[in-house]
Amino acid sequence: MNHWYRPPWVLVVLLLVTYLTPPLLAQETTGTITGQVVDTQGLAIPGATITVTGPQGTKTAVTDTNGRFNVPFLLPGTYTVRTEMSGFKPLERRDVVLRLGQTVDLNLRLDVGGLTETIEVSGSPVIDRTTTTIGTNIDSELLARLPVGRRFSDTLYVAPGVSTGGTVGEANPSISGASGLENQYVVDGVNITNQGYGALGSYSIVFGSLGNGTPFDFMQEVQVKTGGFEAEFGQATGGVVNVVTKSGTNTLRGTLFGYVRPEALESNFTQVETPNGTVNSTATQLADTGAEIGFPVLRDRLFAFAAVDPQWERRTFIAPEDFPLRSLGEVDRERQITSYAAKATWQISSGHRLDASFFGDPAHGDLGPQRTTALLRTTASGFSELDKYGGHNQTVRYDAVLSPSFLVEASFGRALNRIVEIPSVNEWNVTDTTVVPNVISGGIGLFEQGNRSENFQYAAKATHTINRHQVRYGVLVEDVNYDQVNNRTGPTITLVNGTQTATGASIQILADETFGRIFRVTRANLNTSRKTQQLYVSFFVQDQWRVNDRLTVLPGLRYEQQDLQGTLVDSFKLDNNWAPRIGVTWDPTGLGRWKIFGNYGIFYSRVPNDLAARALSSDAGIGADYFDAGLTQPIPDGVLAGGTTTHFSIAGAGADLIDPDAKASYLHEAIAGAEYEIWTGTRVGIRYVHRNIARVLEDVTPFPIVAANLGIEGAESVDYTLTNVDEDTPTAGDFGAAFEKPIHRYDAVELTMDRRFANRWGVQASYRWSRLHGTFEGAYRDDNGQSDPGITSLFDFPTNDPSYTAIGVPQFGFRGDIRFLGKLGEGPLPLDRTHQFKVYGNYSFPFGLNTSLGLQLSSGKPLTPLAANPNINYQNGGEIPECPRGCGIQTIDGFKERTPFLTDVSAHVDYRIPLAGRQRIVLLADIFNLFNSQTVLDYDNWTETTFGAANPNFGFPSTSVLGGNPAQIQTPRQVRLGARFEF
């Protein structure tokens, strides 16, 4: 990044915060044990010595005048807390379990007596009265006992409030009603969220999330925050996923492991036959083997951890019957991932700690059908290679206890991810829609020639304890470089205006009543590379005010701003984003077993750099119609062909116009709930969550769709404006059209039960009733698979537009009604899942056998028929509803308003064979989808594949919009076998 782009005041602020004031803002990587020491009459005991013993040795503290103590910066794990004071019997509390980001508040009561007699108790409270955050914590020991996938993204679905993200892919779930591109992912304090699109790790508009194959073996704990965050946390209008990797300890320990999910133990995939052809999976296989080790370099002072896990993934496809590539038989797609992690911890002194962490998941995809659509072609010209994808991340973190009331933290991190795809041939991508099935030939079309995201992160934060107030504050700066290099296969084209394209073209052959057929260039581009930058700055202050032993008030304030730079616009600033938060927790009994809580907050979305690449740079997309396949005979404007009289247009040649009053999107969130520890280690809870998007940043064009087809001057080119779309957004053309305020409302009631593993059993269970309603889906448009946060096509044209049906339908053959994108069509959004029930439970027998069961039940997806956008610059399917949202479609299984209810039952069993000392062998097996249920996950609800071309597959089980996945049918029964040698 150019040095001028980073304002000098940012560096000054960082230095001031780090050296002159106490800091606070990198994501949590540790936890805190705090509490109060009292005598038998409940009176505070000052001057008592507290010794906390855990995996990396001991830490000590002394109680203050109120008998309170605080021991911060502890690794998640199990601790022993010893309390000593002259004239009292020592008290030793064992098995105090500390979770990531948790504050364990202990009430320690000392009896009068001599120091020779120690009183021992065990267990720790499970109710954290210091926070209003909802979500869950899952440690690697629990995950090893449950039937869940190996990669950390697979583990997120155990948490309540987490459900499918739809077509964005499994690695990007919907959290509390948000789309899958609205979460933040943090590992060891490093924000690894893709800076191009807001997804997990390396993300592609073709493949979805490809990066982060990090296995849960590397992780100490996963924390999934689904709402109620304090002011310290932001950048997400969905959820925050916080992961801390394992660390070395005073004990030498390690694991050698191997897992395989063989195709020989996999049930048959349901084979889907459709008129236009569907590529089917016939088998999958996933295997990995690796090692991890943690050890003390210098006992109590210096520790190290290292791990590596090569993974091999194979999916076997077959082309549809009667398609040319059926002759190839079954074809394998091969991918290899090498996950690694390394961490060093230096306990400089009892109050100073330094951590350095390195981890990544570089990967490669062999030449083959990396896109399933490759097998729908006439030849293997659609094969490609993923030359490199995945990420590399590094961080250094310093924690210090400068005094019992003054804590300091500072960190630096770097996150890098990238994707490079190499096509097998360089030819135009051509789809002949005049025949069924459509004939696809030529190259793969759009591909990512070299997308790269690099994020440098600087954070500092601190905590001051003043009487009953614990004040935290800090600053975060993220310095982002994002290069988007997209290309299209085939030779360049000389356009009707004499301009030469920089890319090849995607072409559709359309039937036409007058000319028989025409050749439509749906997209070619005048450039390929867009280098963008972003400077993100935030700071916060958060008070934790213990009004008394029962009531805690949590007022906070967060500020965020972004400055984005494209190739044409050197600064698009989204500032003055003030996000107040206020929370309250109350313990009715004062015994630490109850918590009634509430929280209100404003949360701002962070705009990824894809907006800078497309809206602040020259995207320059071409749409053009021709009489011939060689694209040498352009159709003149004014001639009615292909449903339009406009046959050449350029969209995005310049940067978007920017409304000077444009601000970042944000939402209101209100939460109320209660938690109760019904018995030791077991809590139940109930909570209500409401979210409402109050302001939306999107790009718009003033003319209604019909204006371009009528040849209205100025409407033939698409000139976007970035603005906060609402009823006052200007329109043009005197068609009576108007914009509308986007609607996105989420309401949920959640019931939870959480029992950490103790006395041989544990359980994680939840039921959620929710309602996701409105007209605006969020950063990701699930109904057509569009990954363009802040610049989706939902509001590109006025939605309250009577001319669409009055003129467009009868004169040009438009389908649907654009008003169904607005208030007229308000209804359940695609990610609405009314009912969701989860249970994960395990029981361990005394002779070494552990068993567990996982059950997930979920309502299906709302269905809405969607026509293509008829504008010459678009033509895309999945754009215009033909009735209000959730009205239903006719499928091959009958008329349905939703896909079927989904049931998934999985089981796990492992047997532990003890060897000498701490060594043991663990043999395990998992069965996923135990009853081999193969429910339809989605039906194809596009009535047109492009404007004027009917979709032959309408109503059949669909394929994923992102090209990495096959037919949307529940994965059949699979069996995973594994073995671990632990020492």
Q: Beta strand 974-982 with 920-928: parallel, antiparallel or unpaired? A: antiparallel
Name the token pair of 724. Answer: 């906060």
Residue 17, pLDDT score: 40
Which position has the higher pLDDT, 619 or 332?
Answer: 332
Angle at CA of residue 244, ends 477 and 202, nearest 5°: 65
Given a contact cutoff of 8 angstroms between Cβ atoms, the answer to whether 762 and 908 are in contact is no
* 83 band by pLDDT with thresholds 50, 70 and 90: very high
Given a contact cutoff of 8 angstroms between Cβ atoms, the answer to whether 184 and 191 are in contact is yes
CB atoms within 10 A of CB 673: 21
pTM of the predicted model as reported, rounded to 2 decimal places = 0.91
Residue 452 has pLDDT above 70, yes or no: yes
Residue 431 has pLDDT above 80, yes or no: yes
Q: Which of 835, 908, 942 is CA-nearest to residue 147?
A: 908
Which position has the higher pLDDT, 153 or 887?
Answer: 887
Contacts of 135 (CB under 8 A, 6+ apart): 159, 160, 161, 223, 224, 225, 226, 227, 239
Name the token pair of 712. Answer: 């209205």
Q: Which amino acid is at 468?
A: R
CA–chain centroid gap for 787, Å, is 13
Measured CA to CA in angstroms, residue 513 lies from 462, 510, 974 at distances of 71, 10, 51
How many whole angstroms separate alpha carbon 683 and alpha carbon 671? 18
Given a contact cutoff of 8 angstroms between Cβ atoms, the answer to whether 668 and 691 are in contact is yes
Name the token pair of 66. Answer: 């109120």
Residue 318, pLDDT score: 95
Residue 119, pLDDT score: 84
Q: What is the pLDDT of residues 817-842, one digit of tens each?
A: 999 999 999 999 999 999 999 999 99
Burial of 677 from C-beta contacts in 10 A (0-12 / 13-18 / 19+): middle
Q: What is the pLDDT of residues 48-57, one digit of tens each?
A: 999 999 999 9
Q: What is the pLDDT of residues 572-593, one digit of tens each?
A: 999 999 999 999 999 999 888 9
Peptide bond into 437 cis (omega under 30): yes
Q: What is the 3-state secondary structure (H, E, C) of 428-476?
A: CEEEECCCCCCEEEECCCEEECCEEEEEEEEEEEEEEEECCEEEEEEEE
Helix (H, G, I), strand (E, B) or coil at 966: coil
Residue 620, pLDDT score: 81
Q: What is the pLDDT of residues 524-554, one digit of tens each?
A: 999 899 999 999 999 999 999 999 989 999 9
Count of CA atoms in the C-beta half-sphere (13 A) of 721: 17
Q: What is the pLDDT of residues 704-747, one digit of tens each?
A: 999 988 888 888 777 899 999 999 999 998 899 999 999 999 99
Residue 646, pLDDT score: 85
Given a contact cutoff of 8 angstroms between Cβ atoms, the answer to whether 724 and 790 are in contact is no
Name the token pair of 364. Answer: 């490669």
- Alpha-carbon dihedral of residues 946, 952, 956, 960, nearest 10 degrees? -40
Q: What is the mean pLDDT of residues 936-959?
A: 92
Residue 965, pLDDT score: 54
Count of CA atoms in the C-beta half-sphere (13 A) of 556: 35
The rounded radius of gyration (Å) of the Cα atoms in the chain is 29
Poorest-confidence range of 27-31, 88-92, 908-912?
27-31
Residue 697 has pLDDT above 70, yes or no: yes
How many whole angstroms separate alpha carbon 35 and alpha carbon 69? 6
Q: Which amino acid is at 462?
A: A
Angle at CA of residue 803, ends 798 and 807, nearest 5°: 140
Q: What is the pLDDT of residues 119-152, one digit of tens each?
A: 888 777 889 988 999 999 988 888 999 999 998 8
Given a contact cutoff of 8 angstroms between Cβ atoms, the answer to whether 140 and 230 are in contact is no
Q: What is the mean pLDDT of residues 849-865?
A: 97
Residue 389, pLDDT score: 92
Q: What is the pLDDT of residues 299-337, one digit of tens each?
A: 999 999 999 999 999 999 999 999 999 999 999 999 999
How many whole angstroms separate alpha carbon 941 and alpha carbon 868? 11
Looking at every residue in the chain, the average pLDDT score rounds to 91
